[in-house]
Amino acid sequence: MTEPKTPDVAAPTGLVKKNARDGKSNATIYDIAKVAGVNPSTVSRALSKPGRVSAKTQKLIEDAAAELNYHVNPFARALPTGRTNTFGLIVADITNPTFFDIIRGAETTATLRDYTLVLAESAESAVTELTAARRMMATVDGLILASPRMDDDDIRTIARDKPVVVINREVDGVPCVVPDVNKGISEAVRSLAANGHHKVAFVAGPAQSWMSARRWEGVQAACEWSRLDAVRLESTKPTVDGGRQVARDVRASGATAVLTYNDLLAIGLMQELQAAGVVVPDQISIVGFDDIFGADFTTPPLTTVRSPLGECGSGAATLLLDLLHGAGEPTATLRVETELVLRGSSGRLLPAG
Amino acid sequence: MTEPKTPDVAAPTGLVKKNARDGKSNATIYDIAKVAGVNPSTVSRALSKPGRVSAKTQKLIEDAAAELNYHVNPFARALPTGRTNTFGLIVADITNPTFFDIIRGAETTATLRDYTLVLAESAESAVTELTAARRMMATVDGLILASPRMDDDDIRTIARDKPVVVINREVDGVPCVVPDVNKGISEAVRSLAANGHHKVAFVAGPAQSWMSARRWEGVQAACEWSRLDAVRLESTKPTVDGGRQVARDVRASGATAVLTYNDLLAIGLMQELQAAGVVVPDQISIVGFDDIFGADFTTPPLTTVRSPLGECGSGAATLLLDLLHGAGEPTATLRVETELVLRGSSGRLLPAG
DNA sequence: CAATATTTGGCAACCGGTTGACAAATACCC
DNA sequence: GGGTATTTGTCAACCGGTTGCCAAATATTG
């Protein structure tokens, strides 16, 4: 079969074609087709539809592909199919260590399943978040929203276009990965009750944070169960700085134990209290949430309700990838367990001197 | 193209208006061409070649585009042009906080200039890194390698195909962003000398780490200048755990001040020494590198030589984007300044009791 | 006002795969 | 062997932009 059926299809049309495949330009299925002596569409099938072509042809094509060092062009594939083997992850704040483990979990799972992770952050703004999500929609197969700030309807709207998985929040009709706060919180509160505390303060997070609301509910319920007083305080922002700022209110509240929306608040709060001469945990116990990187750098190291963040990230990625491949419930909610990590910042209340 | 302020997203009224292109298919330049009564190629030009079409036609097309809520299909654009408005960032370890600020800096700059950041990690492995880089090459316009582990030749090979910027390492013929360690180190060593120290230990990082070598050189030079003894110790890994493990050697070395390759090592080292009853800084001074998140959580807070990591990330992104747009030196090296951040973990050596 | 220079818009050929329809080749059955 | 059921490979029409070339339209100039 040496006779060319279609003689000079590629006759020089005057176009500046970089015909010399000088190492640069990549091999295409047309090149493979020529080498293997088959039609390009056969090459395409051999490479992406297992079993569609005969074993003999398959081998022929694979050899040619290997010889030419062929790699599919992702854009050429994405154009007709819409599939990109890519998914997006939008986090509220890249520098917030809460998300580090989520990012890593998602990235690891993505790579493992031959997907690429595209990252964006919303800077804690619902508008930025929506913009980022919209922008990504065009280029990804699916989206993971970690602690989204936009409202439920926006999330559902996006979820109508492409598979979406939400972390740290429950949205009706959208698959979610949420830590179940109750176990960890009740362990924490019971520990505080056992150590002689009677009044507990909860420092809340951002108003739009679904998780902050759940944690406050959990704290209330657990306190009721243990017959402790519970009071809710507001923070300006869920950061170390926000924690410092809330120290006044904490002292004014008369609570002897504090749970904060997250570890950053707890760390800032502890720093400020210690700077003012308050001894932790003798005079006040502090418990954070999440067990972020650095939570054990403090003196005393921070007691905290751990959320398995890495698991959240990889769980969300798995959920999403299953969805993309047609497996799994379209709206399953994955619940992961929380647990108390008892360190030095909480303990027995010493009688006031 | 600004977001429509009118929040009628949730309003069920206007929804019926959408014609056949309701769910999936997005408007194309052909749709616009039809509405505007021009040729698709004219639409393409109006939208991407400023000034190529008359103002009148331009307006016509822009209006039609707005009406149809048109967004270009990135794949269709990438296919013929190869441009994707995307660049990759490969870091050695996603969970290492050193990279958090780098990631954020790069992400912020990317978003600002309308690029998308694709993230991958090498898990501290040269092989994984090369694989990740290769994989990305197909889909990005350029690549940033933060603290790369692969060897210079591999980097240069990659750099021949697409623009590459390296952070935390100098590679001949490739644009780099490197903190200039000398200022920060000499400040640190002078401070130690002034506080009565005579022997300084340096705990090194990974053998392949270019930056570790530079830091050791810097420490040696500064110590020579200040007439201090300098001794080099090896670490098993550049983590908190590695820092704990090196504590033995540090004590055995007889040094009264330690600089560690990075903050994680410093933190682990300090924890271990304190656990053994050593008082920091009275008996030993500890100085880290980088000023990572959490470096000030410790008691005493960590003295460290700060590298402006966010600046490295954004600087690398800027360098890369300039390169992509034809501006800037093809192999410029951007040097950023380091400085000593004096906190509590270093100070005057108390006379041994 | 004619002649030339400059804009402006249209045509069509790409970029590199995917896929439905179909025919040729091969296998299977009686 | 003839006839039907299956494989297997080919054809051709996409996917949605980009861009070189050219001609028509318009502007500039002598």
Encode pLDDT of B238-286 as tens digits. 999 999 999 999 999 999 999 999 999 999 999 999 999 999 999 999 9
Residues A273, A284 contacting (CB under 8 angstroms): yes
For residue A133, the chain B residues in CB contact (below 8 A) are none
The first and second tokens of residue A192, run together, are: 């505080």
Cβ distance B75 to A75 less than 8 Å, yes or no, reads yes
Angle between helices B74-81 and A74-81 (to 10 degrees): 140
Which residue in A107, A138, A267 is closest to B73 by CB distance? A138
Q: Which class for B153: exposed (0-12), middle (13-18), buried (19 or more C-beta within 10 A)?
A: exposed
CB of B80 under 7 A from strand D? yes
Taken in order A299, A303, A309, A311, is the CA torsion positive or negative? Answer: positive
First to last CA, chain A: 100
Q: Are strands A176-180 and A199-203 parallel, antiparallel or unpaired?
A: unpaired
Which residue in A24, A117, A297 is closest to B297 by CB distance? A297
pLDDT of residue A54: 86
Which one, of A11, A2, A9, A352, lies nearest residue A197 by Cα? A352
Cβ distance A136 to B117 less than 8 Å, yes or no, reads no
pLDDT of residue A2: 34
* CA-angle at B94, arms to B92 and B97, nearest 5°: 100
CB < 7 A from strand C, the residues are A 13, 15, 17, 25-30, 40-41, 44-45, 47-49, 70, 72-73, 76-77, 79-81; B 38-42, 45, 51-54, 56-57, 79-80
How many angstroms separate the CA atoms of B85 and B77, rounded? Answer: 10
Is the CB of residue A137 less than 8 Å away from at least one CB of chain B? no
Q: In what order do the strands lie in the sheet with A229-233?
A: A229-233, A199-203, A257-260, A285-290, A303-306, A339-341
Residue A333 bridge partners (DSSP): A176
Banded model confidence at residue A66, pLDDT cuts 50, 70, 90: very high
How many angstroms separate the CA atoms of B220 and B226, rounded? Answer: 10
Residues B269, B260 contacting (CB under 8 angstroms): yes
Is the CB of residue A117 less than 8 Å away from at least one CB of chain B? yes
Cβ distance B94 to A103 less than 8 Å, yes or no, reads yes
CB of A264 under 7 A from strand D? no
Encode pLDDT of B80-135 as tens digits. Answer: 998 999 999 999 888 788 898 899 999 999 999 989 999 888 888 899 999 999 98
pLDDT of residue B150: 92
Rounded to a whole number of angstroms, the CA Rg of chain B reads 27
Mean pLDDT of A137-162: 93
pLDDT of residue A52: 85
Q: Are strands B333-337 and B285-290 parallel, antiparallel or unpaired?
A: unpaired
Residue A70 scores a pLDDT above 50 = yes
Residues of chain B with pLDDT under 50: 1-24
Which residue in A has a C-alpha nearest to residue B292's C-alpha?
A: A294
> Hey, is B19 helix, strand or coil?
coil
Residue type, B340: L
Cβ distance A100 to B100 less than 8 Å, yes or no, reads yes
The first and second tokens of residue B137, run together, are: 């090459």
Measured CA A42 to C1' C26 distance, in angstroms: 18
- Least reliable range by pLDDT among A9-18, A79-88, A284-293, B50-59: A9-18
Residues B146, B290 contacting (CB under 8 angstroms): no
pLDDT of residue B271: 95
Angstroms from B157 CA to nearest CA on chain A: 12
How many residues does this entry show for chain A?
A: 353
For residue B75, the chain A residues in CB contact (below 8 A) are 75, 78-79, 84, 139
Enumerate the nucleotides of strand D whose atoms come under 7 Å of any protein CB: 7-21
Which residue in A has a C-alpha nearest to residue B132's C-alpha?
A: A111
CB proximity list for B136: less than 8 A, separation 6 or greater = A116, B88, B90, B118, B120, B143
Which residue in A has a C-alpha nearest to residue B139's C-alpha?
A: A74
Residue A352 scores a pLDDT above 70 = no
Angstroms from A105 CA to nearest CA on chain B: 10
Rounded to a whole number of angstroms, the CA Rg of chain A reads 28
pLDDT of residue B141: 95
Encode pLDDT of A220-259 as tens digits. Answer: 999 999 999 999 999 999 999 999 999 999 999 999 999 9
Q: Residue B333: which H helix or E strand, with range?
A: strand B333-337
Cβ distance B120 to A121 less than 8 Å, yes or no, reads no
Largest CA distance in chain A: 102
Residues B29/B87/A164/A177 CA torsion (nearest 10 deg): -170
Residue A6 scores a pLDDT above 80 = no
How many angstroms separate the CA atoms of B313 and B334, rounded? Answer: 11
Stretch 258-277 of chain A: residues touching chain B, C-beta under 8 Å: 267
CB proximity list for A331: less than 8 A, separation 6 or greater = A173, A174, A175
Mutate to test the interface with B, among A70, A271, A297 (most CBs of B within 10 A): A297
pLDDT of residue B283: 96
Residues B200, B229 contacting (CB under 8 angstroms): yes
Query: How is B71-103 classified by DSSP, letter by letter?
Result: ---HHHHHHHH---SEEEEEES-TTSTHHHHHH
Residue A166 scores a pLDDT above 50 = yes
pLDDT of residue A25: 60
How many angstroms separate the CA atoms of A192 and A195, rounded? Answer: 5
Banded model confidence at residue A21, pLDDT cuts 50, 70, 90: very low
pLDDT of residue A350: 86
Mean pLDDT of A63-79: 92
Which one, of B165, B144, B141, lies nearest residue B331 by Cα? B165
Angstroms from A101 CA to nearest CA on chain B: 7
The first and second tokens of residue A266, run together, are: 């707890």
Residues B193, B224 contacting (CB under 8 angstroms): no
pLDDT of residue A353: 52
For residue B270, the chain A residues in CB contact (below 8 A) are none
Stretch 81-100 of chain A: residues touching chain B, C-beta under 8 Å: 84, 86, 94-95, 97, 100
Residues A276, A252 contacting (CB under 8 angstroms): no
How many angstroms separate the CA atoms of B324 and B328, rounded? Answer: 9
pLDDT of residue B332: 85
Query: How is A109-163 classified by DSSP, letter by letter?
Result: HHHHTT-EEEEEE-TT-HHHHHHHHHHHHTT-SEEEEES--S-HHHHHHHHHHS-
Distances (CA, A) of B20 to A80, A162, B27, B38, B68: 20, 19, 11, 22, 12
- Least reliable range by pLDDT among A20-34, A92-106, A135-149, B58-72: A20-34
B232 phi and psi angles, rounded to 5 deg: -105, 130
pLDDT of residue A15: 32
Residue B288 bridge partners (DSSP): B304
Domains of chain A are: 29-72 (1.10.260), 85-179+310-333 (3.40.50.2300), 180-308 (3.40.50.2300)
Is the CB of residue B27 less than 8 Å away from at least one CB of chain A? no
Residue A233 bridge partners (DSSP): A203
- Residue A40's CB is within 10 A of a number of other CB atoms, namely 14
Measured CA B40 to C1' D14 distance, in angstroms: 17
Cβ distance B138 to A103 less than 8 Å, yes or no, reads no
Angstroms from A102 CA to nearest CA on chain B: 10
Encode pLDDT of A53-65 as tens digits. Answer: 888 889 999 999 9
Q: Residue A265: which H helix or E strand, with range?
A: helix A263-275
CB of A139 under 7 A from strand D? no
Measured CA B52 to C1' C4 distance, in angstroms: 22
